[in-house]
């Protein structure tokens, strides 16, 4: 089973909302034909040389036919996952109708937050659930929960980031739970109910010795107190040159998935008195994009020096678009995926991520999901929130778009020989 290569390479670019990431190339060789010894015929029969020549030409024609056949069908694999071209950008595609979706029932999964369970919050239409992501030049494999659980047996999956990361974490747990017979064997390690403020949540699949964990770190770097004698408007600082103080708990993992970006906004920073700090000095005039780049460089150095990438598969997911109306009061939602990519995609964050990852000395896989979300103005929570008085045009209903992000993760692992995964 194959998928477009998500690993960092010289072709990784997030500009124009696509990554340009290539799938593994395939080459086929035709086995050489062994020479046989022929018994001579009578003088009236064709000569040995002419017989050998005839069979030699036949062998060449057969070899050519086999090579042509393999070339024409080189993208077809026994699993049904096809790559008709040598290169496949899995992030460039469209949403296609699929009545076999969703992958799970949110009401049957105890790990979906009430705020993300749109059906439980009164949403009556279910059309937004009946879509799957289809790359332009290849097909993603159908998610198989039991196969995924076997692949992850004895592993540790860690999500780090903001509420979007928590949504993906919940999605993965619910996807995996469809393959578990004894649902009671799956539990949160501390008995916690999912909360927006808890910094750590961990779910154990006891039957598989599997942990799927979430660490809340919205900026990835340390949030600290302001220096003495600083301006009164400075209430807190982001120490751009220091990774979050809980980062040591992320290291010993087999899959490590990051995201950040939604909190890098004036309303989440300057309006609340949070400013940037580096080298012990305040950077009051530093633009948010510049600070984001420094924070990512701090993260990249940490990955290079602290994470064993021979064991740990590291991913970083790009910014997910929101679909607020022009007055920022209601959701600009549609009844089905839009035909054009719309929404606030914060493309500058993707460009910075591409630049930083492109310079790293180790392999990091960029999940460039920005374009995928830009089409899904139908899949936001909107008015179906909890409590219902709050509109939500940024987060996604579950099941929904975050499931596709996890399908990409599992497809990558399958493409990289999951039978040897983590060994």
Q: For residues 116 and 393, give the distance between their C-alpha atoms in angstroms, rounded to a whole number.
A: 12
The three-state secondary structure class of 170 is: helix
Query: Quick one: pLDDT at residue 330?
Result: 80
Residue 291 has pLDDT above 90, yes or no: yes
Query: Quick one: pLDDT at residue 64?
Result: 59
Domain ranges of the chain: 46-75, 86-420
Q: For residues 193 and 198, give the distance between their C-alpha atoms in angstroms, rounded to a whole number.
A: 9
- 386 pLDDT band (50/70/90 cuts)? confident
Q: State the average pLDDT over residues 357-368.
A: 96
59-84 pLDDT, tens digit each: 666 655 544 433 333 332 222 233 33
**What mean pLDDT is reported for the chain?**
82
Q: For residues 168 and 256, give the distance between their C-alpha atoms in angstroms, rounded to a whole number.
A: 12
184-212 pLDDT, tens digit each: 999 999 998 888 889 999 999 999 999 99
How crowded is residue 281: how many other Cβ atoms within 10 Å of its Cβ?
9
DSSP one-letter string for 155-186: -EEEEEESHHHHHHHHHHHHHHHTT-S-GGGE
Give the rounded percent of residues in the chain with a pLDDT score beyond 90. Answer: 66
Q: State the average pLDDT over residues 265-281.
A: 94
The three-state secondary structure class of 375 is: coil
Query: Quick one: pLDDT at residue 9?
Result: 40
Query: Quick one: pLDDT at residue 230?
Result: 84
The three-state secondary structure class of 349 is: helix
10-36 pLDDT, tens digit each: 334 343 433 333 333 333 233 332 332
Query: Quick one: pLDDT at residue 280?
Result: 87
CA neighbor of 212 nearest in space, from 302, 111, 311: 111
Q: For residues 407 and 369, give the distance between their C-alpha atoms in angstroms, rounded to a whole number.
A: 12
Residue 8 has pLDDT above 80, yes or no: no
92-118 pLDDT, tens digit each: 999 999 999 999 999 899 999 999 999
Q: What angle do CA 232, 238, 241 make, to 5 degrees?
A: 135
The three-state secondary structure class of 112 is: coil
Q: State the average pLDDT over residues 395-409.
A: 97
117-164 pLDDT, tens digit each: 999 999 999 999 999 999 999 999 999 999 999 999 999 999 999 999
Query: Quick one: pLDDT at residue 309?
Result: 93
Residue 418 has pLDDT above 60, yes or no: no
Taking each helix axis from N to C end, the angle separating 401-415 and 163-177, rounded to the nearest 10 degrees, works out to 70
The three-state secondary structure class of 150 is: helix
């Amino acid at each position: 089973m194959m998928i477009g290569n998500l690993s960092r390479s010289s072709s990784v670019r997030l500009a124009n909302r696509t990554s340009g990431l290539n799938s593994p190339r395939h080459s086929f060789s035709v086995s050489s034909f062994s020479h046989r010894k022929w018994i001579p015929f009578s003088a009236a029969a064709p000569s040995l040389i002419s017989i050998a020549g005839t069979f030699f030409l036949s062998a060449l024609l057969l070899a050519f036919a086999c090579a042509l056949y393999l070339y024409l069908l080189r993208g077809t694999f026994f699993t049904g996952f096809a790559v008709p071209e040598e290169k496949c950008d899995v992030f460039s595609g469209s949403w296609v109708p699929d009545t076999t979706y969703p992958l799970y029932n949110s009401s049957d999964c105890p790990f979906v937050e009430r705020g993300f369970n749109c059906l439980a919050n009164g949403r009556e239409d279910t059309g937004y659930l009946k879509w799957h992501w289809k790359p332009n030049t290849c097909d993603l494999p159908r998610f198989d929960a039991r196969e995924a659980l076997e692949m992850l047996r004895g592993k540790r999956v860690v999500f780090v980031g903001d509420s979007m990361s928590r949504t993906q974490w919940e999605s993965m747990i619910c996807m995996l739970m469809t393959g578990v017979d004894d649902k009671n064997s799956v539990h949160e390690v501390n008995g916690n109910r999912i909360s927006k403020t808890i910094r750590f949540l961990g779910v154990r699949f006891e039957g598989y010795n599997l942990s799927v964990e979430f660490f809340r770190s919205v900026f990835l770097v340390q949030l600290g107190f302001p220096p003495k004698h600083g301006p009164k408007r400075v209430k807190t600082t982001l120490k751009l040159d220091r990774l979050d103080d809980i980062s040591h708990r992320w290291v010993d993992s087999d899959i490590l998935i990051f995201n950040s970006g939604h909190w890098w906004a004036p309303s989440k920073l300057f309006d609340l008195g949070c400013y940037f700090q580096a080298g012990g000095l305040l950077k009051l005039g530093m633009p948010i994009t510049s600070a984001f780049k420094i924070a990512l460089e701090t993260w990249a150095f940490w990955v290079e020096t602290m994470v064993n990438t021979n064991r740990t598969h590291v991913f970083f997911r790009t910014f997910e678009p929101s679909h607020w109306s022009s007055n920022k009061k209601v959701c600009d939602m549609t009844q089905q995926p839009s035909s054009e990519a719309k929404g606030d995609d914060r493309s500058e964050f993707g460009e910075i991520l591409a630049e930083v990852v492109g310079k790293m000395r180790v392999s990091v896989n960029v999940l460039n999901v920005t374009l995928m979300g830009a089409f899904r103005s139908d899949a936001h929570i909107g008015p179906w929130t909890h409590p219902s008085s709050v509109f939500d045009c940024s987060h996604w209903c579950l099941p929904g778009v975050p499931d596709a992000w996890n399908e990409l993760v599992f497809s990558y692992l399958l493409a990289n020989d999951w039978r040897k995964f983590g060994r």
